[in-house]
Structure 1
Amino acid sequence: MGRLTLLVGCLLLSAGAARADTCTLVAELETGRVLKQEGDCERRSSPASTFKVPLSLMGFDAGILKDADEPAWPYKPEYKAWIETWKGTKTPRSWLRDSVVWYSHVLTRELGEERFRHYVSAFDYGSRDVSGDKGKANGLTRAWLSASSLQISPVEQIGFLSRLLKGELPVARQARDMTLAIMPSFPLADGWTAFGKTGTGFQAKRNGVLDRSRQFGWFVGWARKGERTILFARLIRDERKEKTVASFRARDSLLAELPRLTR
């Protein structure tokens, strides 16, 4: 009996180690009614590549991005792409689809620090801190990545998306419309279509150094069917090293759940 108790204890410990700290938040756009809230959704994390959504608004509003296909910026070796799909010429549409970091960097440098800071503040986006890594003055290209300065919670992600879809952000209507037009889409059951953006990075250790054995992963966006729109955010914080990308797990698991949550 003692050996059985020990075995059960070991299995529970193993299962606990495998679990991730996950928040899921799903709400109706028009009424704000929460359809599902699970986990710690108030805790902030780096937005990672979900920040490409506000970046797209900035780029189109400032006139740097023209439409879904322009500007077409070519890849340069100094960009050091570590993913093959990031190489080659990229457009606004393929930038969001392939989540190309170097394209974001070219865009923010075109915006410049003053305009970049102004937009983040005007959007009331998360912590609004675009100073970047402590002591490195790299906010223009690093603020939204991994454990850098800009942080946002799932609740704040939902708030930002709500303001975006309701046209309440201080950008031109064309900037909003073009951003919506290039969002990655995912057909779902029962006539629903989801639009969303992933984002992945590494969590920080207590001393601030990145812990490359623990990812975090976002999937945020909205789903529509007829006149009905729901907003969603899922954030996974891994508690151990995983073989798969955290944001892909967040995306695939949430997309599988959404048809049931919308009934």
Structure 2
Amino acid sequence: MRVLRLVLLCEFLFAGGQALADTCTLVTEFETGRVLKQEGNCKRRLNPASTFKVPLSLMGYDAGIFTGEDEPAWPYKPEYKTWNEAWKKTTTPRTWLKDSVLWYSLVLTGHLGQERFKRYVDAFDYGNHDVSGDKGKNNGLTRSWLSASSLQISPLEQIDFLSKLLKRELPVSARAQDMTLTIMPAFPLPDGWTAYGKTGTGFQPTRDGAFDRNRQFGWFVGWAQKGERKILFVRLIRDEKKEKGVASFRARDGLLADLPAILEP
């Protein structure tokens, strides 16, 4: 009977190909920190992927590299060698966040340089602070936040970072924080709520330090507000097998569908 119970438990945990223990949903009140919903493992760190565009935006505006919602407008160049046809166009800070354009991030970090980039990550107390990049490759400016690389953050730490941003407590200019909030993608919700958030997708690491293209992870991090009330949210999906669709889009769409019930008075 004990073996049977264990088998049934495993079947339940992996139902739909996704381990519930490796999926986190965390929703908290902004003002009080009161937890409205917490499920799964929210302490385990993983690469931030494109959610790192939020701190990158703060760096860009604070350093004066970004000057407006739509400036700089950097044109795509063939040497960027993007795989995504939708990214082969002139991009601005607003469209960079909306379309999650990787090459724009790399141009930005190139302007920042490794030393200044590292100083910002340390000042933000962001995750494990490790922007060294892939082991032995000295590519922290272009890879550290991506799949199976050095920079990692937990869902709980994502919430803490977002809370500091909304409270304007991060060690960058007020304008850098205001502009970053302004260009965040918006998602209308029922009953007068609006969500603002950033997705991030990657592949989970293997034991040898590479990444498994059959096992995605997907983030959706941000906040929602209605009038004076704000809540913070994170959903992180870790696929246990190859799944259809982009993991971060599944995280985003699932959480947006769940939020109205969570936010009921």
Partner residue, 2:235: 234
RMSD: 1.6
Q: CA deviation at 1:81?
A: 1.3
Q: Deviations over 1:108-154 (max 9, x none)?
A: 00001111000000000000000000000000110000110000000
3-state SS of paired residue (1:201): strand
Q: Does 1:19 align with 2:18?
A: yes
> Which SS does the other structure have where 2:23 is aligned?
strand
Instruction: For residue 75 of structure 1, give the secondary structure of its aligned residue in structure 2.
Output: coil
Identify unmatched segments of 5+ residues in structure 1: none
* Structure 1 range deviating more: 221-230 or 72-81: 72-81
- CA deviations on 1:51-73 (whole Å, 9 max, x unpaired) are 00000000000000001110000
> The residue matched to 1:45 in structure 2 has which SS?
coil
Hey, what's the Cα distance between the residues in 2 that align with 1:213 and 1:13?
Answer: 21
Question: What letter corresponds to residue 251 of structure 2 in structure 1?
Answer: A
Aligned length, in residue pairs: 256
CA–CA distance in 2 between the matches of 1:93 and 1:16?
38
Deviation string for 1:169-206 (max 9, x for gaps)? 00111101110110000000010000000000000111
Query: Is this contact kept in 1: 2:155–2:236, CA < 8 A?
Result: yes
- Equivalences for 1:166-181 in 2 at 5 Å? 166-181=167-182
Matches within 5 A, 1:95-110: 95-110=96-111
Q: For 1:1-263, list aligned pairs within 5 A.
A: 12=11, 16=15, 18-20=17-19, 21-263=22-264
Distance in 2, matches of 1:35 and 1:13, equals 24
Alpha carbons 2:18, 2:238 under 8 Å: kept? no
CA distance in 2, matches of 1:101, 1:15: 32
In 1, distance between residues paired with 2:203 and 2:165? 27
Equivalent position SS for 1:152:
coil
Q: Percent identity?
A: 73
- 1:17 Cα offset (Å): 6.2
1:29 and 1:199 map into 2 onto residues whose CA distance is: 22
Question: Offset at 1:251?
Answer: 0.1
Partner SS state of residue 242, structure 2 = coil
For the Cα contact (< 8 Å) 1:46–1:147, is it kept in 2? Answer: yes
Q: State the SS of the aligned residue for 2:89.
A: coil
Which shows bigger deviation, 203-212 or 12-21? 12-21
Gaps of 5+ in 2: none
Q: Give TM-score, length-normalised by structure 1.
A: 0.94
**CA positional deviation for 1:15:** 5.5
Question: For 1:12-53, what per-residue CA distance to the aligned partner results, in whole angstroms no more than 9, with x for missing partners?
Answer: 489636124310000001000000000000000000000000
Q: Which moved more, 1:100-109 or 1:81-90?
A: 81-90
SS of the aligned residue for 2:26 comes to: strand
Q: Distance in 1 between matches of 2:157 and 2:38?
A: 14
Letter in 2 for 1:250: A
- SS state at 1:176 partner: helix
Distance in 1 between residues matched to 2:225 and 2:83, nearest whole Å: 34
The answer to whether the Cα contact below 8 Å between 2:24 and 2:41 also exists between their aligned partners in 1 is yes
Opposite residue 84 of structure 1, the aligned amino acid is E
TM-score, normalising length from structure 2?
0.94
